[in-house]
Amino acid sequence: MIIAPAIKTKKEKIYLGRNAHSEILMLHKEEFKDAEQGFITDDLRFVDRKEALKIAEKENTNLCKLVNTDELYSEDLWLNKISKTIQNNLSKAVIIEFSKDINNADIGIIGSVENNKKVINLYKVDRNKYEPKLKIKEISRNKENLIELADNSELIGKLIFNHNESIESLIYILAEMYKLNLEE
């Protein structure tokens, strides 16, 4: 059974992470030049990504593979857990759906720093009211426009990041989702 993401250095030293390889990489960057990323099994063996996928597929038929590869990524394991948790708690979930028509999207996204944490606020906005000031796919650094939008719009969601690794994981997931070709 796969129990944790791991990285093995050329000197055969193995480091474990709780959820992702990025957790390990951020702590020991210099040591991981040319290191191998893999996983630790329940019998404490280090296995590479390809062998880890074979083991995980035998034990877990519900992997949440974002990318169709012959390798296992730590996200493949925990995204399935998240997906199951969300399905079990849909009545408690905050669902934010962006418009199918990008030209009529009514979600405003404002990034900021609050209490030394990086925060992304999602607002339901009257797009017509802010169209001249805030354009789709454009970043505004005009504080007055952003404050006006925040003060006059309904806050519908907030993402709070304590570490850059969390942001990197979100970017990775969003990038992989962006590549998906979904049937409408």
- What whole-number distance in Å separates Cα of residue 117 and Cα of residue 130? 27
Mean pLDDT, consecutive 10-residue stretches, the chain (184 aa), reads 89 84 75 86 93 88 71 78 57 58 67 81 75 64 77 83 78 74 54
Give the count of beta carbons closer than 10 Å to the beta carbon of residue 24. Answer: 23
Q: What is the pLDDT of residue 48?
A: 95
Q: Are 24 and 7 in contact (CB under 8 A)?
A: yes
- What whole-number distance in Å separates Cα of residue 79 and Cα of residue 51? 20
CA angle 25, 1, 13 (to 5 degrees): 35
Q: What is the pLDDT of residue 86?
A: 53
Q: What is the pLDDT of residue 10?
A: 86
Cα 22 from chain centroid (whole Å) = 12
Q: Are 20 and 74 in contact (CB under 8 A)?
A: yes
Which of 47, 156, 29, 38 has its CA nearest to residue 97? 156
Q: What is the pLDDT of residue 184?
A: 45
